[in-house]
């Protein structure tokens, strides 16, 4: 390490085209020698071209600032000595290195020929669980001071500090991990292998002492795991029945206030747990719902000495429960609380598969990077859960190769049994007081004979308004081209040297004599199946595009429900012919697979561990092919009566988005038979009731057939004082004008409202197409140039990243559809104005909504009032709930859909939200109201 010199660099440039006209306008070089920053050279440069406005805005560097600065060729004589014998380092090094080489070439100097390290690539390996690898977010998480982002001197210095921290972390890694990283790093894009090699050479001169929490097993360094045993108190703690007892608990934790509604929730849940009477409880925003059920659940668990299951719909709530609410609970209670998260098998790494994968030498770049990330992550993770690690999309494909996917124990996996994360998770769940899981896994587990979730009596279902939908999702079937390709790819043809090739080698070794003719015949069948699959999806696409129109909700996304009518349209017979050929070929190949497994099965004990893995993988694929064959027959030829089947896809990328999907028409019977008859269940959410009635929810979930209690706990917030609603009366009705005219009017209103509210505005749409057009109009108008406009599916970033960015800027407008109606939490002044463009009814041509309406109509019910309206009201209530998130929040809601006032059913929406002042107003009156209110 002492011999390595690093020059950490950052350039500000006029653009991205280093080979074109773009030039460096500021450069900074930070020198690191012997793991110390020893100097920094920074200079502005005259680029000899104007600096674009957006670059000036981003960097603060103007034409005036660089007018008298030297040209790069004049400063090159000072820069070249810094680079001599150094490793060139930058955050996204390819960008900076290209600019350096171009400037050196223009100046008549030879190109830089030394090594280069990319700190983005290195950070992915060193900090595999980081949410983001952007410089600002990395340095913020590390606590490094970075006061002038997009200024070269600040960026280069903070990158140098970050490099030193990464070197420090690498030096602490066990030698077995470093040696594996070095072997892999030769295939990276930058010269990280030099750094790892130098660290290994330094460490070799010392005797290694592993940290206490780390062990090395079969050449793999891991964090040690231990099962936290259930704490059995001598005297079972008693639930705090009185207000005084609860207050005494909360008094121990500063800043945590006990609310009356929260006490009511605790008592309701406690009584339900004691009596085992099912409960549906709606707990309004600010009730303190999570602690309201967790506290009595822990007391119940201690009393019965078995876990209470808590199921959520979103990963966000799972993390919040574990990282925030359980910690608060631990501070409150005078005894220890044990909680664990349980996920589906494929969330957990299979250590045997991963250890075997390290022997492969023909990986692509994404696989190499993923392996390196996992090697460092294994020293930190106690769960082995993929959700902890930030893999690229290519890395996620690698994860599919090393994740858990079967209970079957081959020779190799048996050796890793004691270290297995999945088994550890199951053992830990049995010892926990609270087991947190998700709706999908809970439903899947309920339908299994060997349940994964510990046998226990009590289940609390949070975000319960999603439970029936999650159950239908889980019960549904699907076929898509990508999965089909992967299924075929895992077996491969003989020439591709995948499982088919491997199994044939085992047959020759352990089975019978080499039958060349038989192998060729199977190879032809596999090629034929690949051809038939490709042709079938082409026919499907033709049929789909011919018989669908662009849906109003999304310009590109299309859906087509499969009914007796659509199955009689042109090209459907071609789909059936193609499916018959595929099904027939699958049948022949599955028979061959069974035969091959039979031939080598008796020799299993003589096989090596890796040979057993190949055999097991082949068996897994055969079972997946059988499942696919069953799904194909069911969806194309044997649809069930109480089932909706549809095709969907995006016209811009059919191959990546197309899917044939099915859902049962309802999940109530399954929920009754597997859950409500055998467990005690508490359903809770901020939105369960429609117009103060649980009728819709209890019918959907089957709860109406059981003895149960229904309670609404209203929000403790003073909505009347802190919130008001305006319905603009000078926006045309959407159906009375062309969509372009409506969107133009909407964009004009939103622009004026945004200026009056000074941003801090969330705009909720029901249609992606309408959102995109409105966003484009507002952005292109130039009237909101000083505002940051963020839009779901348009501006890059996940929902949580868009929300974070919205909170970072004072003048920001956030546009969202679908998932933005719920689950995002923006408290305080960051969000002061909520806009609901349209009432959130499902599009009438949406396949499930269409089928459900037909089913209800045939049963003599009013489909609108029995399904469409309550579903829309619950969604509207979720959207409404985004605005007031704390007792001190103030805000205004603007609803552009006048049906809320003019239609009879509008009252149902208004009666389902808290009592607030509602008024109709013109645009000028609306602006005046906003300015006065905010």
DSSP at 348: B
Locate 600 and state its tokens: 């080598």
- Which distant-in-sequence residues (6+ apart) come within 8 Å of 81 by Cβ? none
Binning pLDDT at 50, 70 and 90, where does residue 315 land? Answer: confident
- Mean pLDDT on 76-99: 93
- Mean pLDDT on 79-95: 94
Work out the burial of residue 307: count CB atoms within 10 Å of its CB; fewer than 13 is exposed, 13-18 middle, 19 or more buried. Answer: buried
Report pLDDT for 553: 44
Binning pLDDT at 50, 70 and 90, where does residue 292 land? Answer: very high
Locate 391 and state its tokens: 């893999």
What's the CATH number of domain 5-209, 3.90.1150.10, 3.40.50.360, 3.30.830.10, 3.30.420.10?
3.30.420.10
**Can you list the pairs that 273-276 forms with residues at least 24 positions away whose Cβ atoms lie under 8 Å?**
273/297, 273/300, 273/308, 273/458, 273/680, 273/682, 274/300, 276/457, 276/680
Rg over alpha carbons for the chain, rounded to the nearest Å, is 31
Q: What is the mean pLDDT of the chain?
A: 90
Looking at the DSSP assignment, which residues form a beta bridge with residue 790?
A: 814
Report pLDDT for 546: 87
Full 3-state SS string of 773-803: HHHHHHHHCCCCCCCEEEECCCCCCCHHHHH
- Mean pLDDT on 724-744: 90
Classify 306 as helix, strand or coil. Answer: coil
DSSP at 418: G
Locate 727 and state its tokens: 């319905």
Instruction: Please report how many Cα atoms fall inside a 13 Å half-sphere around the Cα of residue 37, on the Cβ side.
Output: 17
Compute CA distances 857 → 539, 640, 860, 862, whole Å: 34, 19, 5, 6
Nearest to 491 by CA among 619, 603, 393, 594: 619
Q: How far is CA 472 from the centre of its chain?
A: 20
Decide if pLDDT at 224 tops 70: yes
Compute CA distances 581 → 525, 629, 633, 660, whole Å: 11, 11, 11, 18
Q: Please say whether the beta carbons of 49 and 23 come within 8 A.
A: yes
Compute CA distances 27 → 52, 348, 884, 885, whole Å: 18, 45, 46, 45
- Which distant-in-sequence residues (6+ apart) come within 8 Å of 208 by Cβ? 174, 175
- Mean pLDDT on 457-486: 94
pLDDT digits (tens, 9 = 90+) for 540-570: 988 998 888 654 444 467 889 999 999 999 8
Q: What distance in Å separates the CA atoms of residue 846 and residue 868, rounded to the nearest whole number?
A: 11
Residue with token string 């608990």: 249
- Mean pLDDT on 638-649: 92
Return the exposure string of 764-793: e unless at least 16 CB atoms fall within 10 Å of the residue's CB, then b.
bbbbbbbbbbbbebbbeeeebeebbbbbbe
Q: What distance in Å separates the CA atoms of residue 403 and residue 779, rounded to the nearest whole number?
A: 44
Nearest to 843 by CA among 907, 766, 772: 766
Instruction: Supply φ then ψ for residue 43, to 5 degrees.
Output: -155, 145
pLDDT digits (tens, 9 = 90+) for 488-522: 988 999 998 888 999 998 988 887 666 788 889 99
Report pLDDT for 88: 97
Report pLDDT for 1: 65
Report pLDDT for 57: 79
Q: What distance in Å separates the CA atoms of residue 123 and residue 905, rounded to the nearest whole number?
A: 55
Residue numbers belonging to the annotated binding site for ATP: 283-290
Q: Which helix (H) or strand (E) holds 435?
A: strand 434-438
* Sheet strands (E) in 72-219: 87-90, 116-118, 214-217
Q: Which helix (H) or strand (E) holds 680?
A: strand 680-685
- Mean pLDDT on 604-609: 85
What's the CATH number of domain 253-339+667-713, 3.40.50, 3.30.70, 3.40.210, 3.90.930?
3.40.50
Locate 88 and state its tokens: 């060139």
Residue numbers belonging to the annotated binding site: 283-290
Report pLDDT for 110: 92
Report pLDDT for 234: 76
DSSP 507-576: HHHHSS---HHHHHHHHHHHHHHHHHHHHHHHHHHHHHHHH----TT-SSEEEEEE-TTGGGSTTHHHHH
Q: In what order do the strands lie in the sheet with 659-664?
A: 477-479, 659-664, 643-650, 557-562
In this structure, whether the domain defined by 719-933 belongs to CATH 3.40.50.300 is answered with yes
Q: Please say whether the beta carbons of 475 and 663 come within 8 A.
A: yes
Locate 82 and state its tokens: 């810094």
Decide if pLDDT at 405 tops 90: no
Looking only at Cα atoms, what is the longest distance across the chain? Answer: 89
Q: What distance in Å separates the CA atoms of residue 458 and residue 303, rounded to the nearest whole number?
A: 12
Q: In what order do the strands lie in the sheet with 917-921?
A: 788-791, 812-816, 761-764, 833-836, 891-895, 723-728, 917-921
Classify 893 as helix, strand or coil. Answer: strand
Inter-axis angle of helices 739-757 and 768-780, nearest 10: 60
Dihedral of alpha carbons 553, 554, 555, 558, sign: negative
Q: How far is CA 824 from the centre of its chain?
A: 14
Decide if pLDDT at 408 tops 70: no
Locate 365 and state its tokens: 């770049």
Compute CA distances 49 → 60, 107, 729, 748, whole Å: 16, 16, 51, 37
* Sheet strands (E) in 747-890: 761-764, 788-791, 812-816, 833-836
Listed by start position, the domains of the chain span: 5-209, 253-339+667-713, 481-641, 719-933
pTM for this prediction: 0.86
Residues in the chain: 934
Q: Report the percent of the chain where pLDDT is more than 70.
A: 98
Q: Which helix (H) or strand (E) holds 512?
A: none
Instruction: Supply φ then ψ for residue 132, to 5 degrees.
Output: -145, 150
Report pLDDT for 463: 95
- Which distant-in-sequence residues (6+ apart) come within 8 Å of 286 by Cβ? 259, 261, 715, 716, 717, 884, 885, 886, 887
pLDDT digits (tens, 9 = 90+) for 806-830: 887 878 999 999 888 987 788 778 8
Compute CA distances 694 → 253, 665, 683, whole Å: 36, 20, 11
Work out the burial of residue 481: count CB atoms within 10 Å of its CB; fewer than 13 is exposed, 13-18 middle, 19 or more buried. Answer: buried
- Mean pLDDT on 598-623: 86
DSSP at 474: H
Domains 253-339+667-713 and 719-933 fall in the same CATH topology: yes
Return the exposure string of 347-364: e unless at least 16 CB atoms fall within 10 Å of the residue's CB, then b.
bbbbbbbbbbbbeeeebe
Binning pLDDT at 50, 70 and 90, where does residue 602 land? Answer: confident
Nearest to 193 by CA among 88, 122, 241, 109: 122
Residue with token string 């749409």: 765
Q: What distance in Å separates the CA atoms of residue 215 and residue 195, rounded to the nearest whole number?
A: 24
Instruction: Supply φ then ψ for residue 814, to 5 degrees.
Output: -115, 120
Locate 920 and state its tokens: 């109709």
Q: What distance in Å separates the CA atoms of residue 852 and residue 282, rounded to the nearest whole number?
A: 25
Work out the burial of residue 736: count CB atoms within 10 Å of its CB; fewer than 13 is exposed, 13-18 middle, 19 or more buried. Answer: exposed
Decide if pLDDT at 724 tops 50: yes
């Amino acid at each position: 390490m002492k011999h390595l010199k690093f020059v950490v660099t950052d350039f500000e440039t006029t653009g991205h085209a280093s080979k074109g006209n773009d030039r460096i306008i500021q450069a900074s070089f930070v020198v690191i020698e012997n793991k110390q920053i020893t100097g920094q050279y920074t200079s502005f440069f005259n680029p000899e071209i104007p600096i674009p406005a957006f670059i000036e805005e981003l960097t603060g560097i103007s034409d005036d600032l660089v007018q008298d600065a030297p040209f790069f060729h004049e400063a090159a004589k000072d820069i070249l000595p810094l680079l001599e014998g150094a490793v060139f380092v930058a955050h996204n090094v390819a960008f900076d290195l290209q600019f350096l080489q171009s400037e050196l070439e223009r100046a008549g100097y030879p190109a830089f020929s030394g090594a280069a390290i990319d700190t983005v690539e290195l950070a992915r390996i060193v900090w595999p669980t980081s949410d983001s690898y952007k410089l600002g977010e990395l340095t913020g998480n590390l606590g490094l001071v970075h006061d002038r982002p997009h200024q070269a001197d600040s960026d280069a210095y903070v990158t140098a500090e970050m490099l030193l921290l990464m070197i420090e972390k690498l030096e602490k890694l066990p030698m077995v991990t470093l040696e594996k990283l070095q072997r892999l790093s030769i295939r990276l894009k930058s010269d990280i292998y030099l750094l790892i090699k130098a660290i290994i050479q330094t460490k070799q001169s010392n005797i290694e002492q592993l940290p206490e929490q780390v062990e090395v097993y079969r050449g793999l360094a891991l964090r040690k795991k231990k099962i936290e045993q259930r704490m059995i108190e001598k005297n079972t703690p008693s639930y705090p029945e009185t207000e005084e007892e609860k207050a005494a608990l909360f008094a121990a934790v500063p800043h945590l206030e006990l609310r009356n509604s929260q006490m009511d929730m605790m008592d309701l849940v406690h009584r339900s747990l004691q009596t085992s009477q099912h409960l549906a409880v709606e707990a309004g925003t600010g009730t303190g719902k999570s602690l309201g059920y967790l506290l009595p659940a822990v007391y119940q668990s201690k009393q019965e000495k078995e876990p209470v299951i808590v199921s959520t719909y979103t990963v966000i709530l799972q993390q919040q429960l574990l990282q925030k609410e359980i910690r608060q609970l631990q501070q409150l209670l005078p005894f220890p609380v044990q909680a664990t998260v349980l996920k589906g098998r494929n969330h957990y790494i299979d250590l045997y598969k991963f250890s075997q994968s390290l022997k492969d030498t023909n990986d692509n770049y994404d696989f190499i990077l993923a392996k390196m990330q996992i090697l460092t992550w294994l020293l930190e993770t106690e769960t082995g859960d993929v959700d902890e690690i930030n893999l690229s999309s290519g890395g996620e494909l690698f994860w599919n190769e090393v994740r858990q996917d079967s209970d079957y124990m081959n020779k190799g996996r048996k050796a890793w049994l004691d270290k297995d994360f999945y088994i550890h998770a199951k053992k830990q769940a049995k010892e926990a007081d609270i087991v947190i899981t998700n709706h999908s896994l809970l439903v899947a587990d309920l339908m299994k004979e060997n349940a994964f979730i510990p046998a226990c009596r009590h289940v609390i279902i949070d975000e319960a308004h999603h439970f029936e939908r999650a159950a239908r999702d889980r019960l549904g079937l699907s076929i898509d081209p990508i999965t089909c390709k992967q299924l075929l790819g895992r077996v491969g043809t003989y020439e591709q040297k995948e499982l088919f090739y491997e199994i044939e080698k085992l047959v020759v070794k352990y089975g019978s004599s080499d039958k060349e003719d038989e192998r060729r015949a199977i190879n032809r069948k596999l090629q034929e199946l690949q051809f038939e699959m490709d042709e079938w999806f082409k026919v499907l696409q033709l049929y789909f595009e011919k018989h669908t129109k662009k849906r109003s909700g999304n310009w590109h996304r299309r859906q087509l429900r499969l009914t007796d009518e659509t199955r009689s349209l042109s090209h459907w017979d071609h789909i059936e012919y193609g499916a018959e050929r595929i099904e027939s070929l699958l049948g022949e190949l599955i028979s061959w697979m069974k035969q091959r497994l039979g031939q080598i099965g008796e020799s299993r004990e003589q096989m090596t561990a890796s040979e057993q893995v190949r055999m097991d993988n082949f068996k897994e694929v055969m079972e997946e092919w059988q499942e696919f064959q069953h799904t194909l027959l069911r969806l194309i030829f044997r649809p069930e009566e109480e089932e909706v089947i549809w095709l969907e896809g995006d016209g811009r990328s059919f191959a990546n988005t197309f899917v044939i999907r099915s859902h049962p028409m309802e999940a109530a019977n399954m929920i009754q038979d597997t859950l409500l008859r055998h467990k005690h269940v508490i359903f809770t959410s901020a939105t369960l009731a429609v117009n103060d009635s649980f009728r819709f929810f209890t019918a959907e979930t089957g709860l109406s057939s059981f003895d149960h209690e229904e309670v609404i706990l209203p929000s403790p917030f003073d909505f009347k004082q802190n919130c008001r609603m305006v319905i603009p009366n000078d926006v045309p009705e959407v159906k009375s004008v062309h969509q372009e005219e409506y969107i133009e009017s909407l964009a004009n209103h939103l622009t004026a409202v945004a200026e009056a509210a000074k941003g801090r505005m969330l705009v909720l749409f029901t249609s992606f197409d309408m959102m995109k057009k409105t966003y484009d109009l507002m952005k292109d108008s130039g009237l909101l140039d000083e505002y940051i406009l963020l839009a779901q599916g348009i501006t890059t970033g996940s929902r949580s990243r868009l929300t974070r960015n919205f909170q970072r800027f004072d003048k920001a407008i956030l546009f969202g559809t679908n998932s933005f109606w719920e689950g995002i939490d923006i408290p305080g002044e960051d969000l002061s104005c909520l806009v609901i463009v349209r009432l959130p009814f499902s599009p009438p041509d949406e396949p499930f909504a269409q089928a459900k309406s037909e089913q209800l109509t045939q049963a003599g019910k009013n489909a609108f009032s029995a399904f469409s309206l309550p579903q829309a009201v619950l969604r509207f209530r979720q959207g409404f709930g985004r605005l007031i998130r704390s007792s001190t929040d103030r805000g205004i809601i603007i609803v552009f859909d006048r049906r809320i006032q003019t239609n009879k059913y509008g009252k149902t929406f208004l009666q389902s939200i808290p009592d607030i002042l509602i008024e109709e107003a013109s645009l000028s009156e609306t602006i005046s109201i906003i300015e006065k209110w905010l």
